[in-house]
Structure 1
């Protein structure tokens, strides 16, 4: 086996080597900041409105700009890792995020804060795909489950913990500490990365596909923007949504044509010919719909129907985070020993059970019952994410894992944006009907949010059908390396 694979994989049940564990901690430390920062700022909206004396439309760009910047640079992470090495790219991205955090904490008006959030997003957008790629290359197929479970924790807990941590900071400290708190974490992540991240580069990196980048990055950013506009205006037919979505789809189509004609595109569409990658990515798309859509809907229910504060709403979502964390930590070993299909379908079943309880939302639904439903649903999502994330890259040749990881993150990002847009749109449409018919009551308003969970169940059903395409076999004990891997099948 080639030394370029990093840590060798001798047996699935063997204790993880200390070097790999340290690398996992490094990746998790950097990843949790990016995921929490995407939602933590939302809790400070009211404070920022008063601080900067501006409109909510302007303040919303503090989050929108961050998400768009992240989406725009994800595609660059694969080529960057191949060309410059994981350590150089990781330290550069964390440093850029650190700079953006310090500037955000020192912002003097809303416009400067938006610009500095974009800088943060440019640094943060590549962190998750880089982390996924380097862990996959260092661990090997039979350890993918355990390392992906650690990487999945920031992805799953960030949207849940972000509002809670943000609320505590805003209430007890000052909104600027939402950004300053990143500084020591970033410094620790940089120091650890300098000691643990591999430095090797890929001899096949080639020149940057500039045209592909200019087509794909704006396509991702505009699609995410269009979906956020659908959530905001409550319709996919609104021009604010239709125009960016049309532009995004056109750019994506143009990139597809370009990629199929280019020898070394920024994102190789031939990855879709790898069955495990295609099916796992599709499952992750719809699983992201269920996860991030619910995180967007339930806080509104708790605040508008139950009268809770934003911080209280975040705390009431905690059982979902607990369920995710527990399943993510437990499922890693099972992912390394059994077929991803069985685990994913089991997780989807748990997610459906939790969603079924939430379809019956009322103005006085028992909070303990909702907490139990969130606990079960969170456990299900964790059970889906780890084997699906591992399955997406376990059969991909080692030399293209960085680009496969970038593609995987793009799919999840768009899936989460799509989920939030669809579920909020369903709730808004139902509420508009109640207003028109003058039937709006606390119970009917709660029912409007409950209706969205039938859509979650629908997405789960689609995910189950796609999960049937996942490999039924156990992970291979043999690791393909960058030097030994066969090429992706040509189109």
Structure 2
């Protein structure tokens, strides 16, 4: 039965935009926090007198908390209502942020980051659910474009904000800045989001939880440990990866038996959701993994400050801002299979420049390439998510967005770990300097390692008597980055394969159980 278009106005009305504002505030906090903290790792090492491996747990602990709580979001949204649960997630995230700023040692900081992750893990899937239900099927593309702004700008503005706060104030402020945003978001949510009327028709899948949440946490722990251990054969890597993988496989086999599983893999019978999930996963591994290394290239090869490195990433955000509103409108009118492949070609074209970088690659060329990549990014991620969610029924939206978030989290962690391992392994092939060892680890110091340290700290540069050694090390390090970017470029190109199977024809959308002839009003919330 055809849906009635009158129920979904062509333009985004004020009520929908107010709801979008609540979700964007939460998304900004959650996404910015990841990238802001990433630039503070050297500061944490100094302040807490900790090794890189210990400090890396501030990122790993947050990721593991996300993996644990995301699978619960779909069931909890049905059980308690999206407004109540979203405000709880905001409160947990804000409280965790304030506690992080009070940490006296690295152990406390990691524990508080886990608390942050428990809140942050629910913000994105719940936000996508709230916005998708609010828009109605005919306006999902435009509304998802609004949510896409923090998703794309977070990795760009995070290093800028983090560098400025650390340089101008202190590391505590990268967490305290979430307090006013969190308070505003809580008040805003209380006023704007309609009252919950939850319909807890499903029982909680305890067996699924005992397999999926620990399985994801163990698997991602092993993946996150890979850059530190440098080999997949290390016990800290393969044992948790194997145990986690077996638990996840066990969950997959089990999930088709209960009527209401923790994660509803039956949704993958929806062709649009399956193709979009595959495309999004491959793309996230490729682009998000290598994309995290762009600021590191500016920092370690060109010797830029954290703030300047973040500013050099700005063209990518500008490019995304240009195309994202256009892509949002097109997603509601043109099948994404006709637009996303062209956006991916733009990303690949810009990415290719980074496969050729050296120590003196022009900033004009690099920033121009980042702008082109941004143009492609604006037309990729949110249209793919729109394609995945727009043909789901109202009851399926929460579980569909949860599935997409889990896949994206896994893909991002795998991509980041793989790219870090490739880069580090390549850097370790640099010739060792006779008689020089790391005072902490006892490992030999390589020419590339010393050159990078000199770029990051002028005091180190002053101790190197041989300028030829510094140049050799920098050349090797730049080539290592280029090699890593080649892997990212190839994976980005491979994303075109599943993208070609995205819908190329207009299909019936039925966000609110249209199979029964019902149509979603402009705002429908649990």
TM exceeds 0.5? yes
- 2:265 is aligned to 269
> Is 1:360 aligned to residue 356 of structure 2?
yes
For the pair shown, the structure with the greater C-alpha radius of gyration is: 2
Give the Cα–Cα distance (whole angstroms) in 1 for the partners of residues 399 and 119 of structure 2. 18
- 1:398 is aligned to 394
**Shift of the alpha carbon at 1:450?**
1.2
CA deviations over 1:377-400 (Å, ceiling 9, x no partner): 122122110110111111122211
> What does 1:373-388 correspond to in 2, within 5 Å?
373-388=369-384
- 1:489 is aligned to none
CA contact (8 A) 1:397 1:485 kept: no
Q: Quote the RMSD (CA, aligned, Å).
A: 2.4
Alpha carbons of structure 1 residues 108 and 30: separation in structure 2 relative to 1, 3 Å: same
Alpha carbons of structure 1 residues 261 and 108: separation in structure 2 relative to 1, 3 Å: same
> Is 1:474 aligned to residue 506 of structure 2?
yes
Alpha carbons of structure 1 residues 137 and 236: separation in structure 2 relative to 1, 3 Å: same
- 1:455 is aligned to 487
CA contact (8 A) 1:12 1:337 kept: no
**Shift of the alpha carbon at 1:471?**
1.1
- 1:408 is aligned to 404
**Shift of the alpha carbon at 1:84?**
0.9
- Range with bigger deviation, 378-387 or 301-310: 301-310
CA contact (8 A) 1:11 1:142 kept: no
**Shift of the alpha carbon at 1:434?**
4.0
Alpha carbons of structure 1 residues 147 and 453: separation in structure 2 relative to 1, 3 Å: same
Alpha carbons of structure 1 residues 374 and 205: separation in structure 2 relative to 1, 3 Å: farther
- Of residues 469, 476, 496, the one that matches 1:464 is 496
Give the Cα–Cα distance (whole angstroms) in 1 for the partners of residues 131 and 219 of structure 2. 29
Unaligned residue ranges in structure 2 (runs of 5+): 433-445, 449-471, 519-526
List 4+ stretches of structure 1 deviating above 6 A.
436-439
Give the Cα–Cα distance (whole angstroms) in 2 for the partners of residues 150 and 9 of structure 1. 22
> Is 1:429 aligned to residue 425 of structure 2?
yes
- 2:462 is aligned to none
Give the Cα–Cα distance (whole angstroms) in 1 for the partners of residues 427 and 49 of structure 2. 30
- 2:108 is aligned to 112
Q: Secondary structure at the match of 1:125?
A: helix
Give the Cα–Cα distance (whole angstroms) in 2 for the partners of residues 419 and 189 of structure 1. 31
- 1:10 is aligned to 6
Give the Cα–Cα distance (whole angstroms) in 2 for the partners of residues 226 and 143 of structure 1. 40
How many aligned positions are there?
A: 481
> Is 1:206 aligned to residue 238 of structure 2?
no
Give the Cα–Cα distance (whole angstroms) in 2 for the partners of residues 9 and 28 of structure 1. 27
Give the Cα–Cα distance (whole angstroms) in 1 for the partners of residues 261 and 511 of structure 2. 25
- 1:442 is aligned to 474
- 1:234 is aligned to 230
CA contact (8 A) 2:74 2:402 kept: yes
Unaligned residue ranges in structure 1 (runs of 5+): 487-491
State the TM-score, normalized to the length of structure 1: 0.92
- Range with bigger deviation, 343-352 or 155-164: 155-164
CA contact (8 A) 2:284 2:411 kept: yes
CA contact (8 A) 1:336 1:475 kept: no
Alpha carbons of structure 1 residues 109 and 265: separation in structure 2 relative to 1, 3 Å: same
- Of residues 233, 242, 246, the one that matches 1:246 is 242
Q: Secondary structure at the match of 2:339?
A: helix
> What does 1:153-172 correspond to in 2, within 5 Å?
153-172=149-168
CA contact (8 A) 2:89 2:120 kept: yes
Give the Cα–Cα distance (whole angstroms) in 1 for the partners of residues 420 and 45 of structure 2. 23
State the TM-score, normalized to the length of structure 2: 0.86
Give the Cα–Cα distance (whole angstroms) in 2 for the partners of residues 234 and 292 of structure 1. 20
Alpha carbons of structure 1 residues 192 and 76: separation in structure 2 relative to 1, 3 Å: same
> Is 1:42 aligned to residue 38 of structure 2?
yes
CA contact (8 A) 1:141 1:476 kept: no
> Is 1:19 aligned to residue 20 of structure 2?
no
